[in-house]
Structures are given as C-alpha cells and as structure tokens.
Structure 1
Amino acid sequence: MPLYTCLMSFSCTTCLLPCQDMINIFFLTIILLHSVGPGVHGCVPQQNCSECMKSPGCAWCKHKDFLKAGESSERRCDTAQSLITRGCEKVDLMNPLPDYTHLKNQKLSSDMDTVVQLSPQNLHVKLRIGVPIEFNVSFKRAEGYPIDLYYLMDLSFSMKDDLNMIKNLGEDILKTLRKNTKHVRIGFGSFVDKVALPYVSQLKAKKKDPCPSRLDICQPAFSFQNILALTRDAAEFKRMVSKQSISGNLDSPEAGFDAIMQAAVCQDVIGWANVTRILVYTSDDTFHFAGDGSLAGIFEPHDGRCHLNGSGFYDGTKYDYPSVGHLARVLSSNNIQLIFAVTEDSVSAYHALSKLIPQSVVGVLSNDSSNVVQLISEAYRNLSSTILLEHQGTPSGLEVTYKSKCASANSSPSWQKRGECMNVKINEQVDFTVRLTSNHCLNGNKEFYLKVQGISETVKVSVETLCDCDCGDKEIDSQHCHYNGTLSCGACSCKEGHLGQKCECMQPKDDDVSCYQNNSTQLCSGHGICVCGKCVCQGNYRGEFCDCDDSSCARHDNKLCGGNGVCECGKCNCTTTFEGSACQCSTKKDQCMSDDSLLCSGQGTCQCNKCNCNKDFIGEKCSMIPTACQKFKECMTCILEKDKDNHKSCNTSCGSVTPTKSQGPEQYVCVTESISYKVELLNGNIVILYTDLPSTIDKTLVIIGSSVSSIIFIGIAVILVSRLLLELHYRREYSSFLKAQEETDWKDTHNPLFQDATTTIMNPLHIQDG
C-alpha cells in the first residue's frame, strides 16, 4: 500500500507490515527534523492547533488562506514573530500567554480582628506547557499574634525533681510569652510508656506502684494523659499540675511519640485554636518509634486518630508507636511547632530527630527543669525567626520553585525547592517569587496550596493549562473544504477518501509517479507525502520533490551559515563581507594591518581577516620573532669577532640582516659576552641594533661591603644611644642625691631614755671596816 494511502486511512487494519515500517521511519524522520527546529526557530511545528499549543514557543495562524499551495498544515504552527513575518494578522494568531489573576488579595495586617500574615490568599494561574510563570507571595508575622502552648512532660521516675519544679513555673511561662503577645493559653499533658512488657512490669504490686524504691509512692504507668486543656488561668495550671505524681517504667526510652501524636490530633480535647501552636516536649531520655511495639506483640500501625477516653487517657496497647515521618506529617498538617526540651545526655538523639521534623528546635534542659522558661523563650524566638514557604498537594507534572527575598543577607539568588528566610524579626516582611512550570496538560483545573510552616494561613492556587484551541470558526462540510471536510482553526480535516489542503482531490489507488524525482525510489525524496499529485513537504524541507532543506547548511560557532548568510537548499548564501562554506570567513583585512600599514607586518598572508604568518614569525599580526636572541646569537658572536678582525665575513651566520651598532653602552634584551642587542621588525624587514654592555660592578663585594658597613653603623649607633641614656641616668641620680642632702636637717637633741654608762669597780680582797 502507498505510504500516503496508509497515512490517510487512519486504520492499522488496512496497512501491511512494510507500510507500518515505512510509517515508523517517516515519523522518526519528522522527529529528527523537528529536533533541529527549537534551536533554529524556537518552536517544534505540529499538524493541528491543539498539538501546537502543547509545543513551547509555538503559535497558530487560523486564517483560512494563510498557507500557500502545497504547504502542509504544520506550516501554520510556528513562533508568533515568524507567523506575523509571513503575513498572519495578529487577530488570526492563536497564542495564549501564561497569566495569573488574584481572586483574593487582602493586604498584610496585624489587626487582631483581621490578621493577615500571608498574601495573596487565592489566585488562578493559566500555563502553557514548558513556559514558566512567576508571581510573588509576601509574609509578615503579625505582632502580638495569639499563642497556644501545650506542655508535654515525661513522668517517668527520673523526672521527679522536674515535676516539683514545673508545678511553680506555669505563671512564669505565661509571663514570658506575654512579652510577645497578650493572648496566651497554656495546657498540660504527661506520658510514661505502654503498659505492657517489656516496657512496664506486669506484677500486680508493680503495676499499682512502679516506683523502684519503697520510700516513694508512684501512680500507675500510662501511655499519655491530657491533664489540662489549654487555658489562660495560670492558677489552674499550677493546681492541676500539683495533683500529679511521678510514675515509672522498666526501660529507658519513653512513649513520647504516642503522646505527641495524641496531643496533635485530639484538637477538640486539647482545645487548639487557629493561632500559633507550640508543643513543648520535656524528657531526660530517648523515645520509642515505629516497630518497637513488636517487642510487646503490638504490630498494628498507628492510624493517626484521636483515641483519648473520657478521662483523657490513651491506651497505647492497641497501636504501635508512630513513625517519624507520620509524626512530621501530622504536626505539619496541624500547624504545630515542636520544642524539644531535653537533658544533655539525650540531646544528640533529639537533634537528629529535629532534622526530620519541620518547625522543630532542640534546647538543653537542666536536670531539674529550672531553665525551662528561658529555654521556651529562646526556642520560640528561633522558631519565629525562621520562615519556610512550601507547597502541598501539587498535581503531577507541575514543578514549583522559589526565590527568597529576605531582609537579611541570606536571600537565595537561585531557584530553590522551598522559600527560606532566616533571622526574620517580628513585623518584618519577607517576599518570595514562586515559579510554576507544567510539563504536560492538566485534566481540568487543579488546585494546590502554599503555606508557611507553623501557621494555618495558606495561598490557594488553581492551575489550568492552555492546551485547547477555541478558534470559533468550526464548520462541518465547509465550502472552504470543498464540502469534503470540517474547517477548524483555518485548517481542513478531510473526510475519508479525500486529500489536499482544502480536501480538493480524491485519494488515488496507486502511487502518483509525479511525486518521484527522476529515478528516485523515495516518494517526495522521503521528506513529505504526495497529495493531489504534488509533494507536501514536512519540517524544513521544500521544493517540488521536498529535496531542498534550508536547515542543513554548514554551521560555524553553532550558527547556521555562521550567522553571516542565508541557508538556501543546503548551501550558504553569504553576505558581501563573508565567504566560505559556512560564511565563516570575513573578506575584510582591517584586522591584518600592522601599525606600519603593512599587511601582516609583511611577513604573512591575510586569510579570513586573520594573519597566516610565514615561518619564523608569530603574533596576531606576525610582528614577533620567537627566540630571537638565540636565533641571532651566532650572528652577534661573529659581529663581535669582526670588530676585532675587519677581514672576517658574517654573511653565513647573519644572512641578509646587517646589524647596526648604536651609541652605548646600553642594556638591551639580548646579551652575549660584552655586547647587548635587540631584534625588531621594521617596515617588514628584520633590524638588529647592538651596543657595548655597561660596565658592571661586582655585586658580591657590594653586598658584603654594605652588610658589614650596616652592622658597624648599627653597632656604633647602639653604643652611642646606650651611653647617652646611661649618662642621663647618672646625672638624674646625682641631682637627686644633692637635693636630698640639702633637705636634711641635722639637730642635736637629747634622748630622755638614754643614760650614760657607769662603771663600778670592787676589790674582793678589800674588806671594808665594820
């Protein structure tokens, strides 16, 4: 069966396998041809308007008489500029552009009655496939926005000191948070572990009192209990917490994940309002997670629902512990920000956990929780200063990227997977540019949401793709189509058995020999189909037999005909100032002219406005002689000997160059023995100037002499300065001595305590008369 018959039949049953192979080859050829199109035209032409709208950069001309005789319908599909250049009026141009409309766009406001932190709130976007569209989203955290804080505490026995401390800190927590807002509520809940082995002892006495010491009294273990729903009453917080007593379990990890899950999903019981929601989790140990429940024979995954009984207790023996991913999704969907207040021993584990849970921070808790107020305050500031804009529920095939414009220096210059700003102050506005790109047509309008982590406000985005054409000209059995087809968007869709641009001819039974070139065995040279005895070419091919391709010319610098000519039937037709197979060669010679107005300094030829230097010359304009000093060293040595012997000839070593001696002495670039010389190109000829070398001084003696002189000079200077300072010191000391001597007053005074010495001598042999 002929190829065009097979193509026009639209029925595989009427085609034999060879014909199918021909169809595959045909469409593969078309695809290959089209793959060149975007690089040249910016559009891959399509056969009908709807497919044209799905091709990025394409427009469609719907005017009935736009095509010339023999042109295929895909010639209606091209870039808008190309279609206009070819004569299509703008009114007949189908080229819907991406656009968006704000459906709700309230201004940012911190008024407590009408708080708006995210703008816009709702918009509708129209997309063309592969053509991105951008819009702006702004966020400003409202000053004084209400806060709900739920305090979740580990009541295992090791937290005994912490419980006593927390009983008196409720008022302090409220006072601290009220520095940020007047509207604060606080609640309290506690957890221990699942009441099953190996977590909690099943002995009757131990179940009743799990304390490890008989000196203490503990309440029975439990998974989670809501003790106080959110309230503004600090006294009520203290009263309810004071009633609590410590509990105990067997292993170190606790049922913290069970507690977080119930605190997040039990919205009505906890009393969460549509405000900033903070969950404070305090513990001195690690946590159980999904899979640990199997140790107690608990295999059913957690269903993510609220299971508190009338007393606020959660029985954790039915469901396994939640997974980290499940917990992260629940917290994010309920806009709850998590603060881990944990002791130093387990802080590393919670840092790793925090990386997996958005809008969570970790603080180091003292052993008795005495710093919990300060910790909550710092953690709240950290959470509030980080703004993360993300998308939720995006339809398949839609790509969303962000650029962040932050007040600080951490704005993102490139497109990111989410918007992110750090160190944002309260009441400070940040802006994000959101880019949407669709890679295929969406089935109707699709919706997704943009939201800032930790707040409930969202931006609702509805998206539709512009993939259909509503030209408004549909005519069945149209006169324009010779009553043999339907007119739509300017093109005829022919009935079976009819062919042609306007359905003007009948489908032949055999191949039309008029579509074969000379002795060719390929219909329309393999680049088109035969319609009404004429070739209808595909892609960039034209001509009577589609044998002419205006995109197959040689390229230069990745440009067709180097950008300096027009491709006509595979051959470049260059402009007047270019030549060559790819018009890559300029016929000008201005870049070859040297400063002395010689072409390539007289030492080369100018080709394509570039110098092609002769041997022994280099440079952009052939003005440089490589290794000139070495090349003419033998010549200069001969000249030096000739100066001593006038009969010596240097024609062999110097050739046609005659060195000239200049007044000296002088130091040129090249040096040999007692002369220096330089080699230059002047008016196309090599010129050598040489002269005697300046007399030299022995640098070694200079260095040694200067070094010794410097040392002697410095030594003498040091001796003189030190002797001068010493002399000044002596003079000051002598002057001080004389002054002290003058001020001394020598007076004769009698000391009353002093008695002169007396001596009494007695002769033992002398006996005094009685």
Structure 2
Amino acid sequence: GSPWCCDPTRSSSSPRGLAAEPRGSATRRRGEPPGCGRRAERGAPPAPPPPPPPPPLPPPPPPPPRTKGGGRRARAAPAGRTMPRRGGLPAPAAARRPPPRSFLLLLLLLVLAALLQPGRGLNMCTSGSASSCEECLLIHPKCAWCSKEEFGSTRSVPSRCDLLSSSVVKDVPLSSKGSGQTHLDVTQITPQKVALSLRPGDQTSFRVQVRQVEDYPVDLYYLMDLSLSMNDDLDNIRNLGTKLAEEMRKLTSNFRLGFGSFVDKNISPFSYTAPRYQNNPCIGYKLFPSCVPSFGFRHLLSLTDKVDRFNEEVQKQKVSRNRDAPEGGFDAILQAAVCKEKIGWRKEASHLLVFTTDDVPHIALDGKLGGLVQPHDGQCHLNEANEYSASSQLDYPSLALLGEKLAENNIHLIFAVTKSHYVLYKNFTALIPGTTVEILHKDSKNIIELIVKAYNSIRSKVELTVWDSPEDIALSFTATCQDGLSYPGLRKCGDLKIGDTVSFEVSVEARSCPAEDTSHVFTIKPAGFRDTLEVAVTYNCLCGCTGRAEPASGKCSGNGTYACGLCECDAGYLGARCECEEGAGGETHQGLCREVEGKPLCSGRGECSCNQCVCYESEFGNIYGPFCECDDFSCARYKGVLCSGHGECHCGECKCHAGYIGDNCNCSTETGGCVSSDGQMCSGRGTCVCGRCQCTEPGAFGETCEKCPTCPGVCSTKRDCIECKLFNSGRLDNQTCQKHCKDEIITTVDVLKTDDPNAILCAYPVNNCVMKFTYSELASGKSNLTVLKEPACSSAPSAVTIVLAVIGSVVLIGTILLGLWKLLVTIHDRREFDRFQSERSRARYEMASNPLYRKPISTHNVEFTFNKLNKSYNGTVD
C-alpha cells in the first residue's frame, strides 16, 4: 500500500513538507508529534532526532455548528479526542512493518514529521477544530488531512488535520536584438507561462524579467486633425515622410509609416448640416472660403516602408470645417487601434500612434447632444472606402474603452498637442497606460523632433499591466530597476537604455476559494509590448477523498457514510463508528465525559451520550471540545469586535488570520500601506508597526511619513512637483508626477509673501534666475505650494547705461588713482621738508671772514683845494 496517510490529491504551491507518516504506525501519546502513528514496528530503523520546531502558525477558523439530532452538531472535536458521529477508526495495536523498499522514504517522512511537530509551539492545524477534510484545508495553506482508515486509537485520537511549487511552464530566454529575426524568435519578457497551485491564504512569488531589445521594428501611424485651424500644419508636413524616415532609421532598421485623418461627426451640432454646407462647409467664411465636406475618420495609407507614398497622400489632403471647438479624434484613435488588418499593424513590431491636434476631444456621452445614445462597441467600422461608417450611429468612445483597445493591440499613443491643451491631455495619460504627451508648435514644425523624443521616452521605461486578475487573487510587485535597488509596490522602471534588463518580483496570494471555478488564468504584460506572461492559478479547495464516500458503510456499523477516514453518522447515531444510538445513557457510557475526576459532566455545558459530549447550543456562539470546555465567544475584543475581526476565537484565545498578530489580532503584518509613493518604507522617516507608519524623524507626519516641512531635502522634493505639474518639465514623467504629487495644491502669485511662520521658503536657480516658492502643510494632509508666476530675474540694462557706466568707471578709477598719487607725493615732500628743517635746527655756525672777501666800500683820503662859490674848501673825498 501507499506509505502516505494524507490525501494524495492535495497539493500546495510552496515547497513545504507533507505531514504524513507510513502506514503501520501505532497510537501516539498526548503531546507527541501528530501523524498516522507514533513508531514503526520493532526492527525498523530508528528515525533521526528531530530539529527544532517551526514558529507557530496562524490559528484555525472556528468549528461549524452541530445540531442535535443527526448530521453536524454545535461542536467539532479537536485533536486528542474522538469526535461525535464522525471520527477516525482505531488503529491496530501493533504497526505493520513497512516494505524494505520504502526504508529511505520512511526516514524522510519521519524527518518531515519531526520538522513540523508542534511539541514546543502551537500547531494551528492540530489545535483547530476541523472535523472534515474541507474544513482542514481552509484553516491554513500548510494544513493537510489524513484520510487513512487505521488512524489513532479509541482513547486518544490524534488530529487528522495536521501540518504537511510555483512552476514555470514556459521560459524562453530574452532576445538581444529585434530586427533580422522572425517575430517568433524575439522575446522581451521571461518567463512566458507560470502555473501556480494555491490554497486560501497561501502566497507564492516568481520573478519576471523584461528587456527593451535593440533594433526592434517600428510601425508608426500618423493621425492628423484636418479641421480648419490645422491648415498651416498641413502645409508643413507635406514632406514629413522622408525626413521622419531618415530620423527613425537611426533608431531602427525596420520602419514603416501610415497616415489617417479626422475632423468630427458629420451631424448637428458637431458639424454644419444645412444643405448649403454639404459640399463646402466653409461657405461664407471670409478667411478660408473653400474646404472639403466634414468627415469622422479616413484611413488614407496603410503602414508601408515606401515613405514617398506618405508624402503623396499628405499632399492630396485638404482641410475641412466643423461647428464646435472639440474634435472627433477619439473616434479616429479607436478605429486606428482595432482595424488591425486595414491599418497593417505587424505583430512583431512596436506600434506608435501619433495623434496631432490643436483642440480638445469629444468624449463619451457627448454624442447624446446629437441624439447618439448607443455606446461605442469597440469594433472596427471601416467601410470599403476606408471611412468610419458608424460615425453617425455610435457615441464617442470612453477613456476606459480607448485604453483597453490600445493595450489589447499593444499600441503606444503619442498625443502631439498645442501648449494650451497640454495639461488636459497630460491628465489623459494618467488614465491610459503607455501614453505620452508632447507639445506641438502651432505650425507643426517640431513634429519630427517631437516623435523622436516621444519614442525615446517610450523605450526608456517599462511598466507592467495586469489583465483579467480575479477578485480572489491579491497581487503585489517589487521592481528592481537598473540601479539595482528594490522598490516595493512599484511595477515600473524608467531611465532605461536600449538593451537594459529589469526584473519584477511578483507575489500572488489566494484570498479565498472561488464560488465556482477551481482555476483561473490572468495575464501580465508590459504596456505596449506584444510579449505576455500567462499565469494559471489552480485553487486547492476540495479534497479528493470526498468523491470516494461509502454510504451505509460497514466501517460505520451500517449507520453512516464513510468518507476521508471518518464516519458521517445518520440521524440518531453517534460514535466514531456510529455504533451508539443517540440518547443512550448510563454510567458505562459516561466515563470519558469528564475532563478531570470531580468536574461536572461535559463541563456542565452539554450532555454525555455514548461516552461523548454533545454540547449545548448557545446564543453567543458555538460550544465545543471533547468535554464542551471550549467556545468561540470568550476571547479578547478590539473596539467591540471579537478578535478585531481578523481572527477566530478558540478556547478563549484568538487565533489570528494570516497577516495578523497580537492578543486580539489587531496588529497587521502587512507593510504595503507603509510604502510611500517613492517606494521607501515610511519615506525613510519611520518604521512600520502593525501596518502603519510610526514616524521617527522630528517633524515628519502623514500616513507614510511623507510630510516633513522641516526635514532636509523637502524643497528639492517639492521642486520636482512644481516643475512637472506647473511647468511640464523636470525629471518626473507624467505618470510618476501624477502619483508622487497627487496631494500637492499649487497656486501661482505675482508677489510671494514670506511672513507666514508656518510656511517654509524655498528657492532654486532657473536659467540664471531664481524661482521662489513657499511650502506648508494643510490640516487635510495636503501640501500647499505657493509659487511665483515667473522666476525672479534682474532686468537687462540698456546700451547707453552700459557705456556711461564704463566711462564713469574709467574716470572714477583714474581720479582715484591720481588722487592716490598726489597724496603719496605730498606725504613724501612733507617728510623731506620736515627732515630738512630738523637738520637745519641742529646745525651750529662760527663767524669768520673770508680772506678773499673785499668790502664793496673803499675809503681814500685826498687833500685838495677848490673854490666853491668863491670859497675855498680843503678836505677829503670818498
């Protein structure tokens, strides 16, 4: 016979052991490890010593009620005692010797049983109250049911419910290059198929790798708004095909180009429908008196590598005129996406749909203005002339339908719109995965640069999407991007180069068993990629032994149905073999109804029948146990809820569900709610306790400690949000900006007030100017950012001012230098004069005559006589 005692049909997704032992085991004593027996027959090799037991597992759910009178009652027998009505048959006194060929298997199974023994910890499988295989499987993913007939003993019956892989089905390696290979050879995601087998509460994980291969083929469909306001744009793209092909062939050697146009529905009030406008809706319009009739969508050129044909088709086109401002572009996008054969999309190529317009689009329900009440069916409606034939019958498509069809056909949508409508279309990108938006000049002169930029942006990021995910499955992602860091909760990587490989850890958990199907298939695919990963999940919620039930079995004394090793007694019969009639009393049938001698029968909460306690019913819940000593309503409560609603009450103790701990199961072990938008746990400013962040950084608050006005670096974080939301620039892309900056309220002002004590002033340089803003937190938890409308820049001086400033500077500098020179000279002269005076005052002179000196006056004595006035004079003359 088989050495397994547990139901062989049971399987699990995780590589854990099976709590089973070989046939031929004897009874076990209370406290010994559970299984199908305690030891092998004499002579069998001894089992190796058991290693330490695993930590306690989550608790089981409460037992189902049993009603008196047959069938299930208000209790279910736990491990260690026989159960009323249903129970395992007693094992023989001596175990049979296992076959010699199973010797090694016996040792392995005994080791596994020892590994899973609950001797030093709680075994939630055996301590549970499962009375059937199905109830056992629902306790915990690690539990298994032993359906062997010879199980336990009459006095002490071990629990039949006891402790017991993701499988990659297809795994083609990643490709390194796209063109030059058939589409069957190009692989950008691995693995391609995974099969999982899960139980409720069970979780498994697998790794997905994605690569943007080099030189991958590209199909580009150019969808243009041909309303009257786009006339100048049409003139500028008449030779677009040649120039665009030259640029795109620098990125891929396999490029094809197609063309289509749209205006709007040709019904009122969207277009001019009066008879005089049928052939020329521009009649009476002085600026442009002639144009073609309005139309919804026209497919003009299927995807081709002959770019000259693109130029020819564009040169043939003429603009039209609609009545209201919005255009019917969403009709055109949907038809271009779903009419694969008409457009010519290749399976083995990247699909780019360039949508150019200068106005807002009509969306779902706008068609009611024209009497169109039928929603769009998402189907192709191109007639033989390649025109949209359902334009006047179906409403405009919704954003959800648009995103669904674009994703189904692996199409990257590029919105090329004018600056005035950039914000609106940017909001659309947050609702349609794989979509980008770029600013188109009014004359479309930058269209080539725009397309190349958008293509490089698309190829620089990978984002996983999930299709057909069942409600019973919980998915979580952890991205490992090019920097080698792990980002829990993120399914997207950016800033990639062609050929880079990124990986994602995908965790899959079964929340519950589905009502009908036992299997489900969902798909994981990168947005815009052809490659997909198919995940097949099988739910293990049923026991195979249930289908082998034996009605009126002799093993049940002919009074019950034998299934999964237990007897389901008919009405009026009790006992492990249904050997007793209900109501049978007497001392001979009451010996096993007392827990301890002297205590009341069945703890005073039941009646003793056939040595088994039949517990009373209670308005508060179930009373159960071998002696009716347990109930499911005498446990700790949290906020008035028993076991916080996250566990089951078992004998006065809360047995928490998977993912919860604590005396009253109010503490969650889930950390997903603690992961901030940037992928960090509690924004790096706290710790996750019971599923909530406890902020440790001073000044930090918020659900994930994301708010911290006083933390260093907060200005840099808020700067990113201002740049992406207000100025459409910066390092954050559209979807990252929408996610990280969803709680930012940004207002612009002409003059920034800095007198608010609760606001923090931040500034950063922008093109030689300074952008200033204030940051504060609101009571609602949102951030208030007040930003200057324009960066603070100094005005440029005039030429005259510059010349005068230069001349004045030269004169001033010359005057200063001259003054300094004069000052130095004066100081020097004064010093010399003072020294001269000092030396002069110290000089001493003696009076002396110069021998060579002759006085200028000489005196000579001459005697003469003369008469003067007849008088004689005798004297000297000098």
| Same structural fold, with TM-score higher than 0.5 when normalized by the shorter chain | yes
Q: Which of residues 540, 544, 551 in structure 2 aligns to 1:470?
A: 544
Q: Which of residues 128, 136, 143 in structure 2 aligns to 1:52?
A: 136
Structure 2 residue aligned with 1:436: 508
Q: Which of residues 152, 165, 181 in structure 2 aligns to 1:67?
A: 152
The answer (yes or no) to whether the contact 1:337–1:360 under 8 Å persists in 2 is yes
Query: Is the alpha carbon distance of 1:526 and 1:208 closer, same or farther for their aligned partners in structure 2, counting shifts above 3 Å?
Result: farther
C-alpha displacement of 1:262: 1.0
Q: Which of residues 319, 327, 330 in structure 1 aligns to 2:394?
A: 319
Matched residue of 1:246: which SS? Answer: coil
Supply the distance in 1 between the matched residues of 2:173 and 2:313 (Cα, whole angstroms). 42
Q: Which of residues 373, 378, 387 in structure 1 aligns to 2:448?
A: 373
C-alpha displacement of 1:394: 2.1
Query: Is the alpha carbon distance of 1:541 and 1:246 closer, same or farther for their aligned partners in structure 2, counting shifts above 3 Å?
Result: closer
C-alpha displacement of 1:378: 1.0
The answer (yes or no) to whether the contact 1:70–1:535 under 8 Å persists in 2 is no
Match runs of 1:505-544 below 5 Å: 505-508=580-583, 514=590, 515=593, 524-525=602-603, 530-535=608-613
Query: Is the alpha carbon distance of 1:49 and 1:102 closer, same or farther for their aligned partners in structure 2, counting shifts above 3 Å?
Result: same
Please tell me the residue identity of whatever aligns with 1:52.
C
Structure 1 residue aligned with 2:435: 360
Supply the distance in 1 between the matched residues of 2:256 and 2:220 (Cα, whole angstroms). 6
Please tell me the residue identity of whatever aligns with 1:236.
R
C-alpha displacement of 1:542: 6.6
Q: Which of residues 217, 237, 244 in structure 2 aligns to 1:146?
A: 217
Match runs of 1:81-480 below 5 Å: 95=164, 99-111=165-177, 112-113=181-182, 114-211=185-282, 212-213=285-286, 216-274=289-347, 275-315=349-389, 316-408=391-483, 411-413=486-488, 415=489, 419-442=491-514, 443-470=517-544, 480=555
Please tell me the residue identity of whatever aligns with 1:438.
A
Please tell me the residue identity of whatever aligns with 2:611.
G
The answer (yes or no) to whether the contact 1:4–1:530 under 8 Å persists in 2 is no
Structure 1 residue aligned with 2:574: 499
Query: Is the alpha carbon distance of 1:104 and 1:519 closer, same or farther for their aligned partners in structure 2, counting shifts above 3 Å?
Result: closer
Supply the distance in 2 between the matched residues of 1:384 and 1:121 (Cα, whole angstroms). 21
The answer (yes or no) to whether the contact 1:70–1:501 under 8 Å persists in 2 is no
C-alpha displacement of 1:58: 2.3
String of CA shifts for 1:225-260, please: whole Å, max 9, x gaps.
111111111111001111111111222111011111
Supply the distance in 2 between the matched residues of 1:504 and 1:244 (Cα, whole angstroms). 93
C-alpha displacement of 1:156: 0.7
Please tell me the residue identity of whatever aligns with 2:453.
E
Matched residue of 1:330: which SS? Answer: helix
Supply the distance in 1 between the matched residues of 2:77 and 2:581 (Cα, whole angstroms). 27
The answer (yes or no) to whether the contact 1:72–1:501 under 8 Å persists in 2 is no
C-alpha displacement of 1:336: 1.0
Supply the distance in 2 between the matched residues of 1:389 and 1:518 (Cα, whole angstroms). 62
C-alpha displacement of 1:298: 2.0
Matched residue of 1:228: which SS? Answer: strand
Matched residue of 2:522: which SS? Answer: strand
Query: Is the alpha carbon distance of 1:151 and 1:730 closer, same or farther for their aligned partners in structure 2, counting shifts above 3 Å?
Result: same
Supply the distance in 2 between the matched residues of 1:549 and 1:323 (Cα, whole angstroms). 54
The answer (yes or no) to whether the contact 1:53–1:467 under 8 Å persists in 2 is yes
The answer (yes or no) to whether the contact 1:411–1:421 under 8 Å persists in 2 is no
The answer (yes or no) to whether the contact 2:615–2:624 under 8 Å persists in 1 is yes
Supply the distance in 2 between the matched residues of 1:77 and 1:409 (Cα, whole angstroms). 44
Structure 1 residue aligned with 2:68: 7
String of CA shifts for 1:148-200, please: whole Å, max 9, x gaps.
11000000111111101111111222222222211111100001111122222
Query: Is the alpha carbon distance of 1:226 and 1:177 closer, same or farther for their aligned partners in structure 2, counting shifts above 3 Å?
Result: same
C-alpha displacement of 1:475: 6.0
C-alpha displacement of 1:301: 1.4
Calculate the TM-score normalised by the size of structure 2: 0.54
Supply the distance in 2 between the matched residues of 1:359 and 1:10 (Cα, whole angstroms). 57
Matched residue of 1:185: which SS? Answer: strand
The answer (yes or no) to whether the contact 2:575–2:612 under 8 Å persists in 1 is no
Cα RMSD (Å): 4.1
Query: Is the alpha carbon distance of 1:548 and 1:303 closer, same or farther for their aligned partners in structure 2, counting shifts above 3 Å?
Result: closer
Please tell me the residue identity of whatever aligns with 2:568.
S
C-alpha displacement of 1:368: 0.8
Higher relative contact order (CA 8 A, sep 6+): 2
* Structure 1 unmatched ranges of 5 or more: 12-22, 31-36, 81-94, 555-568, 572-725, 735-770
Matched residue of 1:321: which SS? Answer: coil
Matched residue of 1:54: which SS? Answer: helix
Q: Which of residues 485, 489, 498 in structure 1 aligns to 2:564?
A: 489
The answer (yes or no) to whether the contact 2:193–2:533 under 8 Å persists in 1 is yes
C-alpha displacement of 1:408: 3.0
Query: Is the alpha carbon distance of 1:482 and 1:28 closer, same or farther for their aligned partners in structure 2, counting shifts above 3 Å?
Result: closer
The answer (yes or no) to whether the contact 1:72–1:536 under 8 Å persists in 2 is no
C-alpha displacement of 1:402: 1.2
Supply the distance in 2 between the matched residues of 1:546 and 1:164 (Cα, whole angstroms). 90
Q: State which drifts further: 530-539 or 359-368.
A: 530-539
Supply the distance in 1 between the matched residues of 2:188 and 2:301 (Cα, whole angstroms). 30
C-alpha displacement of 1:284: 0.7
C-alpha displacement of 1:210: 2.4
The answer (yes or no) to whether the contact 2:78–2:129 under 8 Å persists in 1 is no
* Structure 2 unmatched ranges of 5 or more: 1-63, 80-117, 617-621, 637-650, 654-819, 829-878
C-alpha displacement of 1:494: 3.2
Query: Is the alpha carbon distance of 1:248 and 1:525 closer, same or farther for their aligned partners in structure 2, counting shifts above 3 Å?
Result: same
Match runs of 1:743-754 below 5 Å: none
Calculate the TM-score normalised by the size of structure 1: 0.61
The answer (yes or no) to whether the contact 1:129–1:438 under 8 Å persists in 2 is yes
Supply the distance in 1 between the matched residues of 2:599 and 2:573 (Cα, whole angstroms). 25
C-alpha displacement of 1:346: 1.3
Structure 1 residue aligned with 2:693: none
C-alpha displacement of 1:493: 2.9
Query: Is the alpha carbon distance of 1:342 and 1:186 closer, same or farther for their aligned partners in structure 2, counting shifts above 3 Å?
Result: same
Structure 2 residue aligned with 1:76: 160
Please tell me the residue identity of whatever aligns with 1:267.
K
C-alpha displacement of 1:341: 0.3
The answer (yes or no) to whether the contact 2:220–2:352 under 8 Å persists in 1 is yes
C-alpha displacement of 1:76: 2.2
Query: Is the alpha carbon distance of 1:185 and 1:55 closer, same or farther for their aligned partners in structure 2, counting shifts above 3 Å?
Result: same
For these two proteins, the number of residue pairs brought into alignment is 525
Please tell me the residue identity of whatever aligns with 2:169.
L
Supply the distance in 1 between the matched residues of 2:405 and 2:66 (Cα, whole angstroms). 61
The answer (yes or no) to whether the contact 1:342–1:364 under 8 Å persists in 2 is yes
C-alpha displacement of 1:104: 1.2
Supply the distance in 2 between the matched residues of 1:362 and 1:334 (Cα, whole angstroms). 19
The answer (yes or no) to whether the contact 1:4–1:529 under 8 Å persists in 2 is no
C-alpha displacement of 1:7: 3.2
C-alpha displacement of 1:269: 0.9
Query: Is the alpha carbon distance of 1:230 and 1:495 closer, same or farther for their aligned partners in structure 2, counting shifts above 3 Å?
Result: same
Query: Is the alpha carbon distance of 1:507 and 1:248 closer, same or farther for their aligned partners in structure 2, counting shifts above 3 Å?
Result: same
